Structure 1
Amino acid sequence: MAAGARDGAGGERTGLRTALSGLTTRGRSFLAAGVAAAACAYVLGQDDLLRVGLLLAVLPLVCVYALHRTRYRVSGSRRLTPMRVAAGGEARVQLRLDNVSRLPTGLLMLQDRVPYVLGPRPRFVLDRVEPGGRREVSYRVRSDLRGRYPLGPLQLRLTDPFGLVELTRSFSSYDTLTVVPRTEPLPPVPLAGEAGGYGDGSRRSLALAGDDDVIPRTYRHGDDLRRVHWRSTARYGELMVRREEQPQRSRATVLLDTRRLAYEGGGPDSAFEWAVSAAASVLVHLLERGFSVRLLTDTGNTAGDGGSSFSAAGHEAAEAAGLMMDTLAVIGHSDGAGLSRAHDALRAERGEGMLVAFLGDLDDAQTALAAKLRPKNGAALAFVLDSAAWTGVPPQEPAVPDRHERLRRLAEAGWTAVDVPPGAGFGDLWRMAARNPAGPGTQASTSGEWA
């Protein structure tokens, strides 16, 4: 929940030329009729008609000058709740307008700018706001398309009682709504290569073998007071605690194939959007299981935490999850032709940890390269999406092998390869993949039966 910065709108100086451009159709008609009547009165020598013409012409000009001299001092703010929402979900926007001057305002129209994908532009008519008064209005936004959408700036439209002039004053602040992919709760199935999160890993970076081996660190909020190392505390002059060990956490990499040539079609129900949503579901699920997770794409770019791009524990894990979800909110197709950069990034980690890959169409060379991505230690799950099955259009590239051939070659390399039929529920595919560990011949057909 965040509030937009406040800005003064009433003190904005606009020239008379800008004020004249604010004449409405009614105001321009009055001005034109007055000039015409004055001209006719001059030609015909009719003093009464001249008075009427002057009244019609002067009235819009008086309104222009009055609005130009208006010095309303108002402040506006915006509160967006929440700032990050899943696709298809709603967010609430609350607008607040305060009259900080000693004069009451006239009729005001409040308008907020929103992208068309979030719905129609909200408009509110506010009656007279007393000195020191406040008005609050709200509206809701919703999008089925992930992305980052700016909200604002807030606009205030001033008008005179006769409707002859309208002036628009804009605030400068805006907020950003992040629409992340939909996630699906996954069943808590046992995963090959899982080390139990904390404390059960195969390696420990630090070990306690006596008081001389203690490596102290500064006390942090929430640390157990029984771990306070008094000798180091007296030496450094601040509270120090024992850092007895750093257990190795289970690692996992989620690989998302974003190549443009690997997917056909578009829209919320396309194969690529399914892969993005499924990758987000896996990231959230593994973080909840205590894994140290990173997101990797075919371009070699990673999202996580720290130099290795793997997420940390506790509060840092929540920040890493937010970073990865923000990355998936705006991720698009890459222009790459292969998975070589992803291969290099995985080899840099020496092939350790669990790997969950979401792959599009693969030709013979990329199928062979994908087979080599399997880590030496840990499970390897591949969810393969076939564009021909999702769009019903045969592939244009003859080098693309049949999807069953791709699954077979991945399975022979030790992957648990799962064929993803159009519109499949990812929870069922996840349970099916975890039920049958990786090994030669381990693959799933579109009917869900293991071959």
Structure 2
Amino acid sequence: MRAAAPTARVDSRAKFTTRGWCFLAAAVLSLAAATWLGRKDVLALSLFLGMVPLLSSLAMWLVKPRVLLKRSVDPPLVTLGDAAQVALRVRRRPSPGARTSALASGSGSTTVPRAAVDVHETVDPLLGRDQDVSVPVSGAPVTYTVRPRRRGIHELGPATVRVSDPFGVVTELLDVAERTSLHVAPDPEELTEHGAATARETGRDPSRRAQPQPGPDNVTTREYRHGDPMRRVHWAASAKHDRLMVRQEDPRSTRRAVVVLDTVEQHWPGERVWAGTLASTEEFEWAVTATASVLEHLTRRETVVHALDDQGRALPRGDARAAQLRDTAVNDAVATEVVHGLSRAALVERPEPEAAHDPLARRLEQEGLVHPVLLLTGRLSAAAARRYVQATTVSASCAVVMVLSPPLVRPDSADVFESAGWSVVLVSRWTDVDAAWLAVTGGGSLLAPPPPKPGAPQLSMDDVMGRTRRRTTA
């Protein structure tokens, strides 16, 4: 699968090259010599040297060179840390009447580009450095590699194409303004098996539903993936396909859970960063990675996860279907699509909804989502915390992971959640995702301090918590 950018042709800006200026200077000197010496042959030479750059420039102005530049990215979606190959292709596309105009101007095929053109490619700094390459006009690709350093939607381009006449006396810049997008999905982290207790069964929780055992004719299988438990291997299907196959889902052990990713911009007050073209913060990036990790961890362990945002909409998937029309249930078959869709997760500024018209509460009620809830959010106000508490009153158990930005001070909203029976985990963007996952069932404060600057003394967790307590007391 490849994603190619459209092509464009804009008005050129013809300029003399160094060789062109040398031609003109030689023409002036030859004209002066012909006047002083009275030689007609030197005069003819001066006229030739002067007419070459002038006629070439006139031809470039009358007949615009039409150079097609195509950019493709393979693959168009990568996981954070993986590499993608960008291919540039250039073809000449002479306009109708170009040969007639060129012959009339007396300079031959002046507007036809040379065998290769110089291309300056603008690259997002989070992908790499700008590229200056020479691309053949035959259509043969020239490739370079990008390796993204942040999740999000990154843009490649625009590119500037430099073309010149066969004599190399006139050059022209063509700005190709179109951009190509590269989607970068978060890289899920491996989580400890103990954390699966988040989807535990309680007296009010129908997360484990008794379903009939599937018969041999309706078992759904897929290819084995790293991390799949061996007890799920379907040996008959493996022998048939000559590779390890596992059961897609065992209805007898299906659990259900709800994961909510808060995307309200006001709830993430940290320093703004850009995930490519998307607004984000370092804390929100931590939450996106944690969401991807939880989805992969639970779905691989026979848990159907209802992945929502703060508006009750399904988290984006790899396709472009409307989120409100998509099923929120995520199983092992579509977990990768949702992780890929998280490349488009971004902060959005929106007001707090009224309690009577809360879209999250409405979605939970409509779909009967009374299963355990895990909320990943930032620094909430007490009112915003009460909104989530009211929306999940029917849920069996609830936990919240609050990613705090400096100063690492316990917010009042944590007390609101705890008074409602929620498990509260306070983390910073330097906290290990797996450590936060293990603390979900019991709660706690894992506010890891920022790494020290070179030469600065190392702060311990006791120092950070002591400062936090002093600020709270004050």
Structure 1 position 275 matched with structure 2 position 287: yes
Structure 1 position 120 matched with structure 2 position 135: no
Residue pairs, 1:2-401, within 5 angstroms: 2=2, 4=4, 21-26=13-18, 29-30=21-22, 33=25, 50-64=43-57, 78-95=71-88, 106-125=115-134, 135-152=140-157, 156-160=161-165, 162-168=167-173, 175-189=180-194, 190-194=196-200, 201-202=208-209, 204=211, 249-262=254-267, 263-267=269-273, 270-303=282-315, 307=325, 309-313=327-331, 315-323=333-341, 325-328=342-345, 331-337=346-352, 340-374=358-392, 376-390=394-408
Please state whether the residue corresponding to 2:155 is helix, strand or coil: strand
Q: Distance in 2 between matches of 1:351 and 1:406?
A: 24
Q: Distance in 1 between matches of 2:38 and 2:306?
A: 86
Q: CA contact under 8 A between 2:114 and 2:165: conserved in structure 1?
A: no
Q: Distance in 1 between matches of 2:221 and 2:439?
A: 42
Shift of 1:114: 3.3
Hey, what does 2:430 align to over in structure 1?
423
TM-score by length of 1: 0.66
Hey, what does 1:393 align to over in structure 2?
none
Q: CA contact under 8 A between 2:186 and 2:339: conserved in structure 1?
A: no
Segment drifting more, 277-286 vs 295-304: 295-304
Q: Distance in 2 between matches of 1:273 and 1:84?
A: 18
Hey, what does 1:229 align to over in structure 2?
none
Change (3 A) 1:144 1:200: closer
Shift of 1:404: 6.3
Shift of 1:428: 0.8
Q: Distance in 2 between matches of 1:104 and 1:369?
A: 64
Shift of 1:110: 3.9
Shift of 1:443: 4.0
Q: Distance in 2 between matches of 1:144 and 1:85?
A: 11
Q: CA contact under 8 A between 2:17 and 2:168: conserved in structure 1?
A: no
Shift of 1:191: 1.9
Q: Distance in 1 between matches of 2:335 and 2:287?
A: 23
Please state whether the residue corresponding to 1:61 is helix, strand or coil: helix
Q: CA contact under 8 A between 2:380 and 2:411: conserved in structure 1?
A: no
Q: Distance in 1 between matches of 2:291 and 2:436?
A: 13
Query: Match of 2:401, as an amino acid?
Result: F
Q: Distance in 1 between matches of 2:24 and 2:398?
A: 78
Q: Distance in 2 between matches of 1:338 and 1:362?
A: 14
Shift of 1:387: 3.6
Shift of 1:76: 6.5
Change (3 A) 1:349 1:66: same
- Consecutive unaligned residues of structure 1, counting only runs of 5 or more, are 209-213, 227-244, 391-401, 437-441
Segment drifting more, 178-187 vs 245-254: 245-254
Q: Alpha-carbon deviations, 1:106-130, whole Å to 9, x = none? A: 3432444434543333222257x8x
TM-score by length of 2: 0.63
Query: Match of 1:4, as an amino acid?
Result: A
Q: Distance in 2 between matches of 1:254 and 1:88?
A: 25
- Consecutive unaligned residues of structure 2, counting only runs of 5 or more, are 95-111, 223-233, 237-249, 275-280, 318-322, 448-460, 466-474
Q: CA contact under 8 A between 1:111 and 1:124: conserved in structure 2?
A: yes
Hey, what does 2:241 align to over in structure 1?
none
Name the count of aligned residue pairs.
Answer: 385
Q: Distance in 2 between matches of 1:171 and 1:250?
A: 52
Q: CA contact under 8 A between 2:402 and 2:424: conserved in structure 1?
A: yes
Hey, what does 1:230 align to over in structure 2?
none
Q: Distance in 2 between matches of 1:403 and 1:23?
A: 63
Hey, what does 2:410 align to over in structure 1?
403
Change (3 A) 1:24 1:145: farther
Q: Distance in 2 between matches of 1:200 and 1:273?
A: 29
Q: Distance in 1 between matches of 2:221 and 2:369?
A: 36
Shift of 1:426: 1.2
Shift of 1:139: 1.1
Change (3 A) 1:172 1:314: farther
